[in-house]
Amino acid sequence: MSDLSFLVRGRSVDLVAMTARHALKTTLGLADEVLDLYRDQLVLVGGVEENSSSAWTEAISAQQNWFNPNKHRYASYLSNDGAMAAAAGKGDWPSPWLSELIETDRPDLVSARENDRLGDLLAGWMAPPVQAGAFAVSFIAYDLEDGVSRLPHGNWPASDHEMLRGILWTIALRADDAVSAQARAEEILVTRTRTQGLLVHPHMEGWTAVGAARPCESMEVEA
């Protein structure tokens, strides 16, 4: 049994991520530390069988308030079992998270699959450009009021699956090692005071780190 992760990215410039990146670098004065910031919308469905993953992908992409093919690109993956529980803060994040690409309209992923380099992207799918001394750290944030919920109205392959909708943030930053990168990313992303943290509101949002920090120099493919 697997979970299905449906990730949505804008076709053009992501103004939300761009604004947040600018605030980190200027308002918070982190230009020498923060290299880049990425944002994806995530729909995570628990307990999806591999033979029904394409049907689930089609059903999710038909939700127009989640995915607009004129504005977005998508990538649908099978995730290793445990991602749903971990996202809700009830277990350790599976490693690796993404085990198989099901369908996508992202040209970079299509090219990687055709050239048998998809494993590079699955290992660090939001990989920033290679840069020594830099790490990528990913977090999922979701509305606490919604949390893990049932599927909304739609033509679903089955009706008894849990679902979580949220945002996947990935920050690339300079750090001495993976441990310090992980801790620093949390300080930067999770709001604690008016001057600390920017993107995750812990009183309104649940959040979890997606695995450990990933060295950018080991990522051979830019996603």
Per residue in 90-111, pLDDT (tens digit) is 888 887 788 888 999 888 788 7
pLDDT at position 118 over 90: no
Q: What is the pLDDT of residue 112?
A: 75
When the pLDDT of each residue in the chain is averaged and rounded to a whole number, the result is 83
The whole-number pLDDT of residue 213 equals 84
| Residues paired with 10 in a beta bridge | 72
Contact predicate 8/49, CB 8 Å: no
What is the rounded CA–CA span in Å between residue 139 and residue 200? 9
With 50 as the cut, is the pLDDT of residue 201 above it?
Answer: yes
192 burial via Cβ count (<10 Å: 0-12, 13-18, 19+): exposed
Q: Are 170 and 200 in contact (CB under 8 A)?
A: no
Beta strands in the chain (DSSP E): 2-10, 34-48, 72-79, 98-104, 134-143, 149-150, 162-174, 205-209, 214-215
Answer whether 98's CB lies under 8 Å from 77's CB: yes
- 3-state class of 54 per DSSP? helix
Residues of the chain with pLDDT > 70, as a percent, come to: 89
Report if pTM > 0.75.
Answer: yes
**Under a CB-based contact definition with an 8 Å cutoff, are residues 140 and 210 in contact?**
yes
Using alpha carbons, select from 177, 171, 62, 93 the residue that is nearest to residue 126.
Answer: 171
Q: How far is CA 24 from the centre of its chain?
A: 19
pLDDT tens digits for 23-36?
999 988 999 999 98
Phi, psi (degrees; rounded to nearest 5) at 108: -65, -35
Which pLDDT tens digit goes with each residue over 143-171?
887 777 878 888 899 888 889 999 999 89
